[in-house]
């Protein structure tokens, strides 16, 4: 019976370790794709995208025309065939020249792709949408859903471990250790992603390795959160154990006094 209990405990502990690792990855993706976090991270990439894909030469040639146009209007709207998007540029931006126009276009594209309501499922969007959808609220919501799914799975596995562990005071120590071990690989995620993308992205005119880092830029923060929670659980387990030892010592002295 003890052998079966022990084997189940080991098996479920391994499952929990894997579940916590996946949970940490999904938490990192969800946290890293927050709008206020990702916007400054990807602005330089999107600006590079605009410079390469939007016809900057035409903009250069038409700056004077645009500035003349702005003498009678407050903004200028034009449709870019490459991105299939209509840009509305305020005249105060146009008066500052081409670089500022491209800078504003970059911010417009970020907002457009991040906040766009995608009708496709996350995996389906790879077939029908521009790759920029992976930095959208739609993508963030997908990772958030996966995070909560594995959070529930992890909690259920933890309950099973609690039922199987013989000494209940060891439960928080075990869970804390598994949590730290499961989140530890997060520290290497950024390096792995950068190496993998760098190896596969030769010939692509963008620094995709820097974009890969965007998805894991909060990996260290997520690990630190898991480490703190794990350390607290281990501390609770040790404190619980000390209380038990103290009670045993007290009981031993009381029994000695009774024998006298």
Question: What gap in Å lies between CA 13 and CA 181, rounded to an integer?
Answer: 11
Question: How much is the pLDDT for 193?
Answer: 66
Question: How much is the pLDDT for 195?
Answer: 65
How many other CB atoms are found less than 10 A from the CB of residue 16?
Answer: 24
Q: How many folded domains does the chain comprise?
A: 1
Confidence grade of residue 205 (pLDDT, cut at 50, 70, 90)? very low
Is residue 116 helix, strand or coil?
Answer: coil
Residue 102: enclosing H or E segment and its boundaries? helix 98-115
90 and 75 Cβ atoms separated by less than 8 Å? yes
Range of the domain at 22: 2-259
Question: How much is the pLDDT for 203?
Answer: 47
Is residue 55 helix, strand or coil?
Answer: coil
């Amino acid at each position: 019976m003890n052998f079966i209990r022990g084997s189940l405990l080991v098996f479920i502990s391994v499952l929990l370790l894997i579940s916590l690792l996946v949970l940490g990855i999904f938490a990192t993706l969800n946290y890293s794709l927050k709008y206020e976090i990702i916007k400054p991270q990807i602005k330089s990439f999107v600006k590079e995208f605009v410079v390469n894909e939007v016809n900057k030469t035409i903009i250069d040639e038409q700056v004077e025309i645009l500035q003349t146009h702005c003498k009678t209007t407050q903004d200028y709207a034009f449709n870019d065939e490459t991105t299939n998007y209509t840009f509305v540029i305020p005249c105060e931006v146009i008066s500052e020249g081409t670089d500022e126009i491209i800078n504003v276009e970059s911010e417009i594209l970020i907002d457009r792709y991040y906040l766009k309501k995608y009708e496709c499922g996350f995996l389906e969007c790879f077939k029908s949408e521009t790759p920029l959808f992976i930095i959208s609220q739609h993508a963030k919501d997908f990772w958030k859903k996966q995070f909560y799914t594995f959070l529930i799975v992890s909690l259920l596995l933890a309950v099973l471990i609690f039922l199987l562990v013989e000494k209940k005071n060891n439960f928080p120590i075990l869970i804390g250790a598994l949590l730290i071990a499961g989140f530890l690989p997060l520290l290497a995620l950024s390096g792995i992603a950068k190496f993998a993308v760098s190896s596969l992205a030769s010939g692509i005119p963008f620094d995709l390795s820097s974009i890969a880092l965007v998805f894991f830029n909060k990996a260290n923060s997520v690990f630190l959160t898991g480490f703190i929670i794990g350390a607290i659980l281990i501390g609770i387990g040790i404190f619980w154990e000390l209380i038990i030892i103290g009670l045993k010592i007290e009981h031993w002295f009381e029994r000695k006094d009774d024998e006298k």
